[in-house]
Amino acid sequence: MGKVYLVGAGPGAADLLTLRAARVLGLADVVFHDALVHPEVLALASRARIVPVGKRCSQISTDQRFINRCLVEAAARYETVVRLKGGDPMVFGRAQEELDALAQHGIECEVVPGVTAALAAAADLRISLTRRGTSRSVVLATPRVGTDQQAGKWVEAVVAADTAVLYMGTGEAARLVHSLKQSGLPGNHPVAVVQSASLAGSKALYTTLDDLPRRAAEIPSGGPTLLVLGEVLREALSSDQGREQIPAELPATRANRA
Amino acid sequence: MGKVYLVGAGPGAADLLTLRAARVLGLADVVFHDALVHPEVLALASRARIVPVGKRCSQISTDQRFINRCLVEAAARYETVVRLKGGDPMVFGRAQEELDALAQHGIECEVVPGVTAALAAAADLRISLTRRGTSRSVVLATPRVGTDQQAGKWVEAVVAADTAVLYMGTGEAARLVHSLKQSGLPGNHPVAVVQSASLAGSKALYTTLDDLPRRAAEIPSGGPTLLVLGEVLREALSSDQGREQIPAELPATRANRA
């Protein structure tokens, strides 16, 4: 019986993988990977059969039960099985369903953590998510802005934390803003939109809750997008306002390419 | 004028560093590092002068303004300056003070994200911080459980989020529990205490809010400790209760050593 590694591929850039993840990929016999994993990361699994298993918002993705079954079956055939997930496996990665399926079959399993997207966005913006005197708490959340009018517990968590990072695109921005303002965030609350954090061609803009729906439309659809909210962004927002209105390419990304 | 890299050293284990961080360390002329950075990580900076600058709770640590000045002065003398921080620089790393000081002097700066301790704790426990139907939000917080009776905004954030990870030890457990229960968390709310996440000799135990002060005393003082709170822990708590009362060595860590 083989061992299954749930491995975080990091936020996007191939070199934001951990050394341990790189080593495990090199040993892998088979790799089941999410969409959006960098080709250079997959190339590290030089001995392995590579199996894409989808998993990206609003695109065709493989059924979770099918993935669970793949992992269990692979562990019976191979010594080293890797399930490679974007970011960190334990944050919005649906890892528990896979861990539970493996445990039910008595299959040995190890989790290799990764850099979650929120941290890459903060690095690109060069704005700390915590700050002495301003922010002692950071919430990572996936909002549900459905048709039901129920605000949901995620809104309370986002409003209560000093800084919030929402793992979602801007498609539902108007509804999101409505929910957050109803729950007490002011219209001038600072927001950053970060697209493709850590990757070449990443984009960012600073705005306010009131202006988010209008400004979000300026970012062309493409890579994965995060929203950052909080007073830690206030200074960057002030110095950004009055500049050109097109999304700024991130300086950190320019530096990485140089 | 040199360039300063604020680099995340990851949660503890040397191989949970990113590939980018390893490369930057190899280029470094000088490295200013926090306490608790693994010696094998420092060894990657083979060309560099290594300068410890403290920073650990309740131990002697270097004044932040002194560190800022060191970085500015080093950038005038060296091409590649690394400020190496435990975990991720942008989460409880006081990075903003250093970023602002560098910006004031027009010094080029790049942030290399790292795996923050919460993710390593989840990996060790093999419990996902988010879970479909149970947890859509994770808050990372540093509580302030001072002598003042004011609960503070961090309590609201911890209570509102589905899962919480507290970057703190267990020394103030009784006060912490009092604050959280006053703000609405039930006494049977599941808690995990994780010490030295990702390192050999890491320890973990599951308990409840009511039992935390008593159980916390069972963990010998030592490595950095985190508290995880939330319903995602309920099942692990149920299967753990009734077992021996000493802290369990983490299975993931046993596997890493094997």
* Residues A81-105: tens digit of each pLDDT: 999 999 999 999 999 999 999 999 9
Torsion of CA B172, B175, B177, B181, to 10 degrees: -160
Tokens of A37: 């994993």
pLDDT at position A223 over 60: yes
Residue of B116, B132, B139 lying closest to A137 (CB–CB) = B139
Interface predicted TM-score (ipTM)? 0.92
| Residue from B57, B50, B48, B60 nearest B24 by CA | B48
Length of chain A: 258
8 A C-beta contact, residue A131 and residue A232 = yes
Which helix (H) or strand (E) segment holds residue A42: the answer is: helix A39-43
Judged by a CB distance cut-off of 8 A, whether residue A144 touches chain B is yes
Judged by a CB distance cut-off of 8 A, whether residue A18 touches chain B is yes
Residue at B33: amino acid letter:
H
Judged by a CB distance cut-off of 8 A, whether residue A249 touches chain B is no
Q: Is A1 a catalytic residue?
A: no
Judged by a CB distance cut-off of 8 A, whether residue B61 touches chain A is no
Rounded to the nearest 10 degrees, what angle do helices A173-182 and A153-160 cross at? 70
Angle among Cα B15, B11, A234 to the nearest 5 degrees reads 125
8 A C-beta contact, residue B212 and residue B191 = yes
d(C-alpha B99, C-alpha B90), whole Å: 10
A229 pairs with which residues across the strands?
A: A164, A191
Q: Residue B252: its pLDDT value, please?
A: 47
The pTM assigned to this predicted structure is: 0.93
Judged by a CB distance cut-off of 8 A, whether residue B163 touches chain A is no
Q: A161: which chain B residues are within 8 Å (Cβ-Cβ)? A: 139, 141, 157, 160-161
B115/A114 Cβ within 8 A: yes
Q: B142: which chain A residues are within 8 Å (Cβ-Cβ)? A: 130, 136-137
Which helix (H) or strand (E) segment holds residue B95: the answer is: helix B95-104
Per-residue pLDDT of chain B (258 residues), as tens digits, is 899 999 999 999 999 999 999 999 999 999 999 988 999 999 999 999 999 997 554 445 568 889 999 999 999 999 999 999 999 999 999 999 999 999 999 999 999 999 999 999 999 999 999 998 889 999 999 988 764 544 578 999 999 999 999 998 888 899 999 999 999 999 999 999 999 999 998 999 999 999 999 998 888 888 899 999 999 999 999 987 645 444 556 554 444 443
Residue at A156: amino acid letter:
E
A113/B123 Cβ within 8 A: yes
d(C-alpha A56, C-alpha A37), whole Å: 11
d(C-alpha A100, C-alpha A69), whole Å: 12
Domains of chain A are 3-112 (3.40.1010.10), 117-257 (3.30.950.10)
Q: Is B55 a catalytic residue?
A: yes
| Residue from B256, B29, B189, B225 nearest A111 by CA | B256
Q: Residue B57: its pLDDT value, please?
A: 47
